[in-house]
Amino acid sequence: MTFPNKVALVTGAGSGIGKAVALALLADGWQVVLAGRRLPPLQAVAAQCAAPENAFAFAADVSKEDQVLALFEATLQKFGHLGVLFNNAGISAPPGVLLEDLTLSDWQAVLDVNLTGMFLCLRQAFRVMKAQHPMGGRIINNGSISATTPRPNSVAYTATKHAVTGLTKTASLDGRKYHIAVGQIDIGNAATDMTQRMQTGILQANGSIAVEPVMDVAHVGQSVVYMANLPLSANVMFHTIMATDMPFAGRG
């Protein structure tokens, strides 16, 4: 089964990985809904593509159920179909905070976006893809390599990304009967504003500070385009893309 038209929804599309993926999909001929909490950055991304009529910016906070419902409704009103959800929106707790010093409010803020927000978008994508004709679609969750291996002082972010893997596995199973393929991309050290500190030195597991290699975030966009274009009879359940020499495999 292939999509009757190429419509994708990207959350967290105003910057970083979401922006790179949205632009890659647009360049590949997809119609793309760009979602994020602030409209001006989304509109700026849409203005960068060669066919602005294929980009639709919509402000929504994925941690708010009513705003997620409005986002998906607006997607259907604009394009009439949903082929792919790139479930990407995420935040981190303030950097450098020790586990024992992390406040409940900072912990909860990360869970609200990274886990509850991802669930709300996943759930609504299921509802839309189950009801549309032809039935089905694809959901790609942004996991991060923190879904496998943590960094120091990252308990909230890492806990949510481990949980995303559970969402992916369960949704992949539950989506089969609706022709919904669910996969996950785990990304390490893509060059964005979030990873700038890695290029000046970041805390390692052994307590040292080291500069870490980064990769062009455009490679993430290319990976998602590949996953998005697969027929629904095939699924990349887990895809890891990372800067080749970053500390991840083995001991560093």
**Cα→Cα distances 36→11, 80, 126, 194, 252, Å:** 6, 20, 20, 16, 34
Distance CA 218, CA 240 (A): 15
Query: What are residue 56's DSSP bridge partners?
Result: 33
User: Is the separation of the CB atoms in 7 and 30 below 8 Å?
Assistant: yes
User: Is the separation of the CB atoms in 118 and 167 below 8 Å?
Assistant: yes
Question: 12: which residues sit within 8 A by CB, 6+ positions away?
Answer: 18, 35, 36, 62, 88, 89, 90, 142
DSSP string, 14-71: TSHHHHHHHHHHHHTT-EEEEEES-HHHHHHHHHTSS-GGGEEEEE--TTSHHHHHHH
Is 178 assigned a catalytic role? Answer: no
Looking at 72, 79, 86, 157, which residue is catalytic?
157
**Which residue, among 211, 63, 35, 235, has the nearest Cα to 139 in the 3D structure?**
235
Distance CA 132, CA 124 (A): 12
Residue tagged 């009103």 (tokens)? 77
Positions marked catalytic: 157
